[in-house]
Amino acid sequence: MILKVCGITNQGDADAAMGSGATALGFNFYPMSPRYIAPELAATLATPGVLRVGVFVDEAPAEIAQIARIAALDVAQLHGDESPADYPAGMRVWKAARVSEDFDFARMEQCPAEAILLDGPAAQLYGGAGVPFDWRLARGAHRRIIVAGGLDASNVGRAIGLAQPWGVDACSRIESSPGIKDHTKMTEFLLAAQAALRP
């Protein structure tokens, strides 16, 4: 299962996440985000053995590919209005979608991305709004699903139980301030997720 911590901006947070069992780390390359990190800085953060995921919003495929090369990314996580024609060639893609009451899961069945990241409603914020959705809606989807939005140690076990996802992703609710992780909350989140996965 993917255990992802998003909004990584420094080596200390990356080390703490990896030390507590994270299998993927997210770097936000959306310039308007309070968790934005320059590709050149992301490139200096050592993350052996975990997936490096770049968060993008309506970025041109060529620009995504360039940032991916600079920052040594494994996955592009797309949060905007991108169509499959906008996906960067030759890269793994996770397509993010915001789940509202009228969300159409059938629309996601045809999406060519490797996984669908389901996030809560968040107005104009991308990557870290801290709003959950009804996880029951994701159960039974015929896709790899990553649950995001408002997850922390208090609810990730329930989210896993209800959604049966391929992965979980936390950001704002395990921070001390935007872009700075609270290591205790982050560790508790990861340990709770691991506990929920045990038979």
Kindly indicate whether the domain formed by 2-197 is annotated with CATH number 2.60.40.1180.
no
Q: What is residue 16's predicted lDDT score, i.e. its pLDDT?
A: 98
Q: Are 4 and 21 in contact (CB under 8 A)?
A: no
> What's the N-to-C CA distance of the chain in angstroms?
14
Residues in the chain: 199
The answer, yes or no, to whether residue 58 has pLDDT greater than 90, is yes
Average pLDDT on 74-99 reads 94
Cα separation, 112 vs 94, in Å, equals: 9
Selecting among 13, 119, 152, 169, the annotated active-site residue is 119
Q: What is residue 122's predicted lDDT score, i.e. its pLDDT?
A: 62
The answer, yes or no, to whether residue 181 has pLDDT greater than 50, is yes
- Tens-digit pLDDT profile for residues 101-129: 777 777 787 889 999 999 887 645 555 45
The answer, yes or no, to whether residue 38 has pLDDT greater than 90, is yes
Beta bridge partners, 5, equal 25, 170
Residue located via tokens 């140690």: 153
Q: What is the DSSP string of 6-73?
A: ----SHHHHHHHHHTT-SEEEEE--TTSTTB--HHHHHHS--TTSEEEEEESS--HHHHHHHHHHHT-
Element (H, E) at 167: strand 167-170
- Tens-digit pLDDT profile for residues 81-92: 999 999 999 999
Q: What is residue 121's predicted lDDT score, i.e. its pLDDT?
A: 72
Q: What is residue 126's predicted lDDT score, i.e. its pLDDT?
A: 54
- Cα 4 to Cα 66, 100, 123, 136, 177: the distances in Å are 23, 22, 22, 20, 18
Selecting among 6, 13, 169, 171, the annotated active-site residue is 6
6: annotated active-site residue: yes
Q: Are 30 and 79 in contact (CB under 8 A)?
A: yes
Lowest mean pLDDT across 59-63, 93-97, 111-115, 137-141: 137-141
Cα separation, 191 vs 193, in Å, equals: 5
pTM of the shown model: 0.94
Average pLDDT on 122-147 reads 75
